[in-house]
Amino acid sequence: MAIEVGTKLEGKVTGITHFGAFVELSAGVTGLVHISEIADNYVKDVNDHLKLEDKVLVKVINVDKDGKIGLSIRQAVDKPPGEQQQRPERPERSFNRDRDDRGGRNDRGGRPFKPTANRMTFEDKMSRFLKDSEERISSLKKNTEGKRGGRGARRV
């Protein structure tokens, strides 16, 4: 029997890892039940839900071309329509993350650009840096030139 997506099969748990469980299906074919597909609630440890040699009903959710089979235990259980979990509706967001509220470019990681009155341009910052740098260099030269031997070493 060929294994197709959507079919429900019975299998035996042959291995348990921190990310899921391996289930052996008919004819020795093995598939993986990911930890997120074991139960409807949060699964911290697979061993809390499954044991080796357990018989489980699984649903085939995907078959890769290289032969890997993805299985689900929680999708294999048929639930009455009233019992199915409904996700709450999320409000639609209708904005472009690359633009701010005024239509201008937003390059600040999603936050709108807020200009302030004392905002300095790049040229202003560069000229301030050069001025400070020249002052520091001149004060260093002044302090080291007066000493004999240079480089701060004093001779007696």
For residue 114, the 8-state DSSP code is -
Asked if residue 137 belongs to a domain, the reply is no
For residue 120, the 8-state DSSP code is P
Residues 40 and 4 sit within 8 Å (Cβ to Cβ): no
Asked if residue 59 belongs to a domain, the reply is yes
Query: What is the model's pLDDT at position 136?
Result: 92
Q: What pTM does this model have?
A: 0.51
Euclidean distance between CA atoms 100 and 33, whole angstroms: 44
Distance of CA 39 to the CA centre of its chain: 23
CATH number at residue 20: 2.40.50.140
Asked if residue 142 belongs to a domain, the reply is no
Domain that holds residue 52: 8-72
What amino acid occupies position 27?
Answer: A
pLDDT by residue (tens digit) across 31-89? 999 999 999 899 999 999 999 999 999 999 999 988 899 999 999 887 766 655 555 55
Asked if residue 58 belongs to a domain, the reply is yes
Count of structural domains, the chain: 1
Euclidean distance between CA atoms 22 and 143, whole angstroms: 74
pLDDT by residue (tens digit) across 125-144? 999 999 999 999 998 888 87
Asked if residue 26 belongs to a domain, the reply is yes
41's tokens? 């609630």
Asked if residue 29 belongs to a domain, the reply is yes
49's tokens? 């839900």
Asked if residue 136 belongs to a domain, the reply is no
